[in-house]
Amino acid sequence: QDGSFSIWSPASRAVSAQPDGSLFANRFAVADWEKFQLVELVAPEPGQRRPSAPVAPEGAIVFSSLCRYQESSGGLRGRERRSPIFAKLWEWNYPDIARECREYLGPNGFDAVQISPVTEHVLGGQWWAKYQPV
């Protein structure tokens, strides 16, 4: 809301960039390599061309020693390095979702399931009726 941006670590340490460009960290010192710069991008007005994105300097990366990186893993017993795999169980009822997770998805290394919206919705036969809350 106020334009600041923060990166938090599991140890409750933070590095925050303020709207005026200043940097705040709740530790004693922040090295030059830990600093980052905010870039403001604005969506074009209807009918205008999209401005070209600013080009990052060669070799630029986002990194903070305050936030630990953990490579994605999954598969059987979580030992396979890969992107997460989601199963879409649209229109399934909860008992069937639970059984599928317990008997097949979990043992075979699926990471998450996506289900239909959980909200009371307007009645209708159209596919989009479930997305219209009461």
What are the residue ranges spanned by the domains of the chain? 1-69, 80-131
Chain segment 55-100, per-residue pLDDT in tens: 656 665 555 566 665 666 666 666 777 777 889 998 899 999 999 9
Mean pLDDT of 103-126: 86
Amino acid at 70: Q
Q: Which is more confidently placed, 110 or 33?
A: 110
Amino acid at 126: Q
Structure tokens at 84: 């997460």
Mean pLDDT of 1-29: 63
Question: Residue 15, exposed/middle/buried by CB under 10 A (0-12, 13-18, 19+)?
Answer: buried
In DSSP notation, 109-133 reads T--EEE----S-B---SSGGGGGSB
pLDDT confidence of residue 118: 81
Q: Which is more confidently placed, 101 or 50?
A: 101
Best CA proximity match to 2, nearest among 28, 55, 38:
38
- In angstroms, what is the C-alpha Rg of the chain? 22
